[in-house]
Amino acid sequence: MSRISGLNLNQRSLVGGISLDRKQIDSSFLNRLLDQLYGGERSSTIWAPCQSCSAKERCEVFRASLIFGPDELPGARPKEIRSRSRERLFEALQAVHLRGETHVTVRELRAALVYILFGVNFCQDYHAASDIPALPYWDRAFFADSPGRQGEVLKEVARFDPGLEAHPQIDRYLVSKLSPDSAKTASHYDQLTLESARRRAFFEWTEEDIVQVAGDRNALDLARGQHLRLFKHLALERDPQEESRLCARLCQGISRLEDLPPQALDRPGVVPLRITPRTPTETAFWVEKPLSAFRLEADIPRNISVDRLHCQASSTPGTLRIIPTSPLLVRKVVSFQKP
């Protein structure tokens, strides 16, 4: 009986998992799933007729296959661009998991990928008319009102639409005309709306393209995803100083959730937490805990038997909770009389 163990598959992550050496987030399952959706080892044979199809120039399914298809597909974009595009697609799906509001099941995951990669139009639709209203893959991925969109995963992905954000250098470059004397090699999308252009650049621009235009490789990212990458890589962090710095930033943010005077927020080495009095008062009360008493850690078990990716961070056993709730945790009470 000692060789029998039970696994709760609802706790696994289908969109990526922490590697056994805790050095990277492994997305091999997603890569295999995408390859299988395109036909796996038979993909070159299955997609061969598309190479000579008269409608391939306006076929959005064919366009997506050149970006996300396996290496065996002829005419595919360079491997570094395809790897980058897949990575960006996986980031959007991982953001859904990290947000912790929707459990990504196999059925939902497959349905979302099929919609993004293939859409809702058939081959005869593309052959029937040249002005068929078919959205490209980048709009199908993020546009919340795209036709035929359904499912919780796609609904959550739309929350992270890069078209909802703005960046002056990137936006100006995207909608501008190509200049012959420009040294920048990033693609222009002046024929698209700004929102659609940002979505396409999110998938197809390399890090070098983003640095060329904006000077920051993280300038073009998921909407409201400024700290998403920090949270995702929290389980991989092994530098104690970096862990302490992230914990300090989090504690500072928690302190600012309540209205505290500057005298409380400016004190170094402590975490002020406001005390709400039972009756209204003009005096602000708070407790101060030493910053060294807090420790931040991703909620990942030590022995990972299935692919797991955290969706919350908490304190480890033996340390204080991020938000103290017990009166025993109060060591010092400081008051500040409001003017």
Asked if 221 contacts 162 with a C-beta cutoff of 8 angstroms, the reply is yes
Domain residue extents for the chain: 9-161, 258-337
- d(Cα 266, Cα 283) in Å, to the nearest integer? 18
Is pLDDT larger for residue 317 or for residue 42? 42
Give the model confidence (pLDDT) of 84-118 as tens digits.
999 999 999 999 998 888 889 999 999 999 999 99
How large is the average pLDDT for residues 2-15?
72
Give the model confidence (pLDDT) of 147-178 as tens digits.
999 999 999 999 999 999 999 999 999 999 88
Please report the pLDDT score of residue 339 as a whole number.
Answer: 39
Mean pLDDT (the chain, rounded): 83
Which residues, 6+ apart, have CB-to-CB distance to 73 below 8 Å? 38, 43, 44, 47, 65, 66
Please report the pLDDT score of residue 286 as a whole number.
Answer: 86
Which residues, 6+ apart, have CB-to-CB distance to 85 below 8 Å? 67, 68, 77, 203, 204
How large is the average pLDDT for residues 298-303?
70
